[in-house]
Amino acid sequence: MEPQFPLLKLPAVVLRLVAACLGTKEKIYFSLCSKNSADHIRRLNIKVGEFLCEIGSEFSVSLKFDDLHAISMIFLPVDQPVNQYPIPLPLPVAFRFSTDVRQSEETKETHSFQNMPSLKDFLGHLSTIFHCKNVAIAPLHGSEQYTLDSLKESFEICGVTELVMTTYYGNKPHFINILKTFLPVRILYLDNSPYESNWQFRKSVLKYEFDVLRLWVKTLDPYELLFDMDIKQIDILSTQVLSPKLNFFIRMWVEGETNVNLESLVFQFREIDLSDYYQETILNGIDNQVVTEEEEFKPICISVPWGLVDSVIAMYDIRRKTDGRRATIKFDRFSKAIRFKLIVWKSENNLGWVQH
């Protein structure tokens, strides 16, 4: 058998060139060879736009890079004692790559390590070599088999900035314990809130600070909760019944009495539930100016209401009295939904402002 080529003994300048020519999978393999090889990959300045860890019966890590290609690693489950529940998150011994290629095909291969680092070290390693600042976790059905302490410990190095709670399968205590374990985070996406009242939600969730709160809730009154959300981006994703409370909220924002840090707000309504005068109802008594030219706006997180639009119905500018900050109220349509959007602009331009 021929001896293996001593790659790591090559001069540093050659290794840098080799590292740059490797594919994404090979870059990850190479980075695990030594501290120097990891540093060569880090210096390539490859950046991950999305780092998502899904925790269920299997543990997977999905990386979406800035050039839009993506790669997933699925950690293979290991045998655990049947009489122990819940169990600590097992030490990974192997993972399977799943790489998206053209025509939506997949290539899969399994890779094992003789000295696999702990999951905590490996996640920290990935976030370092790919300069990832935002790590999202999504607990799924099956995550209840793991102890909360072991889940939290696994993310101590890379940190968690986004918690995606989109799967609710009736295990309310586990759902609530996940929130207690990982809050606070910068971004919270909460589907089917386990809390039955606004009071419980305020006490358990809104006591923390967020940059983004995305809610799909049916048990809460989001109109009332708005006044307790000093948050930059608020997406109310479940369809709502139009209420005079929305007009009252806008009035309070104009007076500078609520949500001073708000950058964007979304409400969704079913078009068949709205009267022909819904815009007048929302804007009643509020000084505004009709806008005909749409300005580009990019929210912190691009959720469905921000990413998918069939047509813009109307736009109106309003201003906050305390500092003159301009905001645009936009009504748009997607499929059978009408969306109300409030966009607060950072750069100011008072020219052409006429109150009506």
Strand partners, 99: 71, 107
Residue 37, judged by CB atoms within 10 A of its CB (0-12, 13-18, 19+), counts as buried
pTM, entire model: 0.86
Residue 25's pLDDT is 84
What six digits make up the tokens of 292?
């005909």
- Residue 81: asked if its preceding bond is cis (omega within 30°), the reply is no
Distances (CA, A) of 114 to 33, 70, 92, 111: 11, 26, 11, 10
**Domain extents in the chain:** 1-45
Residue 354's pLDDT is 46
Amino acid (one-letter) located at 210: F
Q: Which residue has the tokens 């655990």?
A: 80
Predicted confidence pLDDT, tens digits, the chain (356 residues): 344 556 766 677 788 888 888 888 889 888 888 888 899 999 999 989 889 999 988 888 999 887 767 888 887 666 655 556 677 776 666 667 765 544 344 555 566 655 556 788 889 999 999 999 889 999 988 888 888 999 999 999 899 999 999 766 568 888 899 999 999 999 999 987 788 889 999 999 999 999 999 998 788 899 999 999 999 999 998 888 999 999 999 999 999 999 999 999 999 999 999 999 999 999 999 999 999 999 999 999 998 999 999 999 999 999 999 999 999 999 999 999 999 999 999 876 544 454 44
**Three-class secondary structure of residue 342 per DSSP:** strand
Ordered DSSP codes for 4-73: PP-GGGS-HHHHHHHHHHS-HHHHHHHHTT-HHHHHHHHTTT--EEEEEEEESSSEEEEEEETTS-EEEE
Residue closest to 53 by CA, chosen among 163, 132, 129: 163
**35-42 vs 119-129: helix crossing angle, rounded to 10:** 40
Residue 103's pLDDT is 38
